[in-house]
């Protein structure tokens, strides 16, 4: 079985960035900007969205670790403050 070209996480990050860039470009067109400016706005938003969504979408190792608020709630329950 062949490996996929892109991982599921990478595909999700790129898809979300494409969606954000397309939305920004479409809104720029609707606002009355010219097509070249709208394309540049969409590309800029997509370029900035990739690192944003890359950090937002956790890795598999992050999913195994409990959230900070869950750790705090568990410690309060153990102390009887819950």
Boundaries of every domain in the chain: 8-79
Task: Using pLDDT thresholds of 50, 70 and 90, give the confidence band for residue 38.
Answer: very high
Q: What are phi and psi of 67, to 5 degrees?
A: -70, 155
For 17, 57, 73, 75, the CA distances from 50, given in Å and listed in that order, are 5, 11, 33, 36
Residue 32, token pair as written in the block? 């009355």
Give the Cα separation of 8 and 51 in Å (integer): 16
Query: Can you give the pLDDT at residue 79?
Result: 76
Of the two residues 45 and 80, the one the predictor is more confident about is: 45
In this predicted model, what pLDDT tens digit does every residue of 57-76 receive, in sequence order?
Answer: 987 665 555 566 666 666 66
Question: Taking a C-beta distance cutoff of 8 angstroms, is the pair 25, 38 a contact?
Answer: yes
- What confidence score (pLDDT) does residue 5 get? 92
Q: What does pTM read for this prediction?
A: 0.69
Across 3-10, average pLDDT? 91
């Amino acid at each position: 079985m062949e490996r996929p070209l892109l991982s599921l996480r990478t595909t999700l990050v790129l898809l979300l960035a494409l969606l954000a860039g397309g939305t920004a470009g479409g809104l720029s067109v609707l606002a009355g900007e010219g097509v070249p400016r709208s394309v540049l706005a969409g590309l800029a938003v997509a370029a900035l969205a990739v690192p944003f969504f890359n950090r937002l979408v956790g890795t598999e190792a992050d999913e195994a670790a409990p959230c900070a608020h869950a750790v705090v709630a568990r410690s309060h329950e153990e102390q009887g403050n819950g």
